[in-house]
Amino acid sequence: MPDTAQVGITLPPETNADASFANRAHIYIEMHQTQESRTMSATAPITQDVHTIPRKLPEGPVNLVGLTRDKMREVLIAHGTPEKQAKMRVGQIWQWIYLWGVRDFEAMTNLSKAFRAQLAEQFVIQLPEVVTRQVSKDGTRKYLVRIAGGHEVEVVYIPEEDRGTLCVSSQVGCTLTCSFCHTGTQKLVRNLTAAEIIGQVMVARDDLGEWPEIGARNNEKRLLSNIVLMGMGEPLYNFENVRDAMKIAMDPEGIQLSRRRITLSTSGVVPEIARTAQEIGCQLAISFHATTDEVRDKLVPINKRWNIAELLEVLKAYPKVSNSERITFEYVMLHGVNDSDDDARRLVELIKGIPAKINLIPFNEWPGAPYKRSSNNRIRAFSEIVYQAGYASPIRKPRGEDIMAACGQLKSATERARKSRKQIEAETGLT
């Protein structure tokens, strides 16, 4: 994807054209900290050093992928489409891109030849590039996709009997440092653009051959029926881009996934949770993982900023505002750390009053991980206590382990990106 697709990335301010990368990165980190320190209550650093690679300003043709309808209208008008026609043109182009999966303006046959030629000159329809595609013994597919600046992220497709779920990444790496998570050990970070987020869905649909024949009714069983924002990154630290991409996925004249089939997982960015209910309205999953602040501080360090009580408080309002049935609490089972009967009892006590389901995730090990997976018997005993208290407590079956595609194992791609940092800097115009 060219640099033109960069609209919407969090960027350090271009204060001085000659400012060195180090200076600009420094400015950015300060801004970042100022923003976050407003609500910060703990002293320990929660995030790792943030390395954000500044980018060139967009130039050349604009990517139409990832723009909301309103933004697409704006860019069409800015490029000469008469205002009166703009809404209709957006509707037409939108259907071609998101309903039929068309990438070539020439194929948009309900637009005049002249307009098609004009579009082809001014715009592109560009997706992340698929670098590798691995298929697990269990049918799980992992794609490594390359995005602007040479970064790479992973996308995982998990087929099940009654659904097919795409696990989408929202950032390159993650600024948070959950101690059991492979992604959290990775430093290089940038937010993905809305184009890069919805682009993951589009490349997966390409691979699954899921775009309908032009003009055909789209009522077949979907191979890609659900999206979970559970790949690399903390989606609520990239709110606007995630929101815009999910709005595109839900649009009734495009990919048409119901908001009930989209689940956003967060480690607990409390101030953004109410906004998620209002502005996205999808299902919510919380990476809970511990029943005391002492343990959660260690496992999910963002807990030092927003603790269990603050998190639960904001969750109470979520189902009503988003009109969703219940919240999923994700709970990774770590041997001897958070998996006792007492933990299970505390858990059900804590979430009392919140319509919930508890997803128990057997810990997926990765090279150098400081934890062990709880035994099957322990996980079953924990699940039973939660179940007896009236909550569904499914144990998540690890998928795609043989290709390192299971929860918390995504990282390898970005490590490569870190190695080629010099190259990335060169590509972004820094050297």
Residues with catalytic function: 154, 407
Residues found near ligand SF4 in the complex (CB under 6 A): 174, 176-178, 181, 183-184, 233-234, 267, 287
181 forms part of the interface with ligand SAH (CB under 6 A): yes
CB nearer to ligand SAH: pick between 152 and 427: 152
Helical spans, DSSP H, in 288-375: 293-299, 308-316, 318-322, 341-350
Task: Name the residue among 385, 388, 394 with its Cα closest to residue 346.
Answer: 385
Task: Name the residue among 116, 125, 131 with its Cα closest to residue 98.
Answer: 125
Q: Are 66 and 195 in contact (CB under 8 A)?
A: yes
Of the candidate spans 28-36, 106-114, 180-188, 317-325, the one that interacts with ligand SAH by CB under 6 A turns out to be: 180-188
Beta carbon of residue 138, minimum distance to ligand SF4 (angstroms, whole number):
23
Q: How many CA atoms lie within 13 A of 68 on its CB side?
A: 10
> According to CB under 6 A, which one of 52, 81, 287, 324 is a site residue for ligand SAH?
287
Beta carbon of residue 229, minimum distance to ligand SF4 (angstroms, whole number):
10
Beta carbon of residue 351, minimum distance to ligand SF4 (angstroms, whole number):
19
CB nearer to ligand SF4: pick between 174 and 255: 174
Q: Residue 329: helix, strand or coil by DSSP?
A: strand
Which DSSP letter does residue 124 get? E
Structure tokens at 103: 């990438």
What is the maximum alpha-carbon separation in the chain? 70
363 forms part of the interface with ligand SAH (CB under 6 A): yes
Beta carbon of residue 386, minimum distance to ligand SAH (angstroms, whole number):
16
172 forms part of the interface with ligand SAH (CB under 6 A): no
Residue 307: burial class (beta carbons within 10 Å; 0-12, 13-18, 19+): middle
CB nearer to ligand SAH: pick between 248 and 407: 407
Restricted to residues 103-132, the positions that interact with ligand SAH (CB under 6 A) are none
Question: Could you tell which of ligand SAH, ligand SF4, none binds residue 361, using a CB distance below 5 to 8 A set by kind?
Answer: ligand SAH
CB nearer to ligand SAH: pick between 297 and 330: 330
140 forms part of the interface with ligand SAH (CB under 6 A): no
CB nearer to ligand SF4: pick between 178 and 194: 178
CA dist list (Å): 139 to 136, 164, 166, 361? 5, 11, 13, 20
> From residue 192 to residue 231, what is the string marking binding to ligand SAH with x (rule CB under 6 A)?
--------------------------------------x-
Question: Could you tell which of ligand SAH, ligand SF4, none binds residue 364, using a CB distance below 5 to 8 A set by kind?
Answer: ligand SAH
Beta carbon of residue 105, minimum distance to ligand SAH (angstroms, whole number):
36
CA distance linking residue 89 with residue 235, whole number of Å: 31
CB nearer to ligand SAH: pick between 168 and 203: 168
CB nearer to ligand SAH: pick between 77 and 350: 350
CA distance linking residue 248 with residue 241, whole number of Å: 11
Of the candidate spans 117-125, 356-364, 374-382, 387-395, the one that interacts with ligand SAH by CB under 6 A turns out to be: 356-364
Q: Are 202 and 209 in contact (CB under 8 A)?
A: no
Q: Count the site residues for ligand SAH by CB under 6 A.
A: 16
The sign of the torsion formed by the CA atoms of 101, 251, 408, 37 equals positive
> According to CB under 6 A, which one of 361, 379, 386, 403 is a site residue for ligand SAH?
361
Task: Name the residue among 227, 239, 325, 338 with its Cα closest to residue 288.
Answer: 338
Sheet harboring 327-333: ordered strands across?
129-135, 141-146, 152-159, 164-167, 226-229, 262-266, 283-287, 327-333, 356-362
> According to CB under 6 A, which one of 53, 407, 413, 424 is a site residue for ligand SAH?
407
Structure tokens at 399: 């998928």
CA dist list (Å): 27 to 13, 44, 403, 417? 8, 21, 39, 23
Beta carbon of residue 136, minimum distance to ligand SF4 (angstroms, whole number):
21
Restricted to residues 312-331, the positions that interact with ligand SAH (CB under 6 A) are 330
To which H or E segment does residue 69 belong?
helix 69-78
Task: Name the residue among 216, 255, 229 with its Cα closest to residue 101.
Answer: 255
Beta carbon of residue 267, minimum distance to ligand SAH (angstroms, whole number):
4
> According to CB under 6 A, which one of 189, 332, 360, 386 is a site residue for ligand SAH?
332
Q: Which residue is nearest to ligand SF4 (CB)?
A: 184
Residues near ligand SAH (CB under 6 A): 180-182, 230, 234, 265-267, 287, 330, 332, 361, 363-364, 407-408
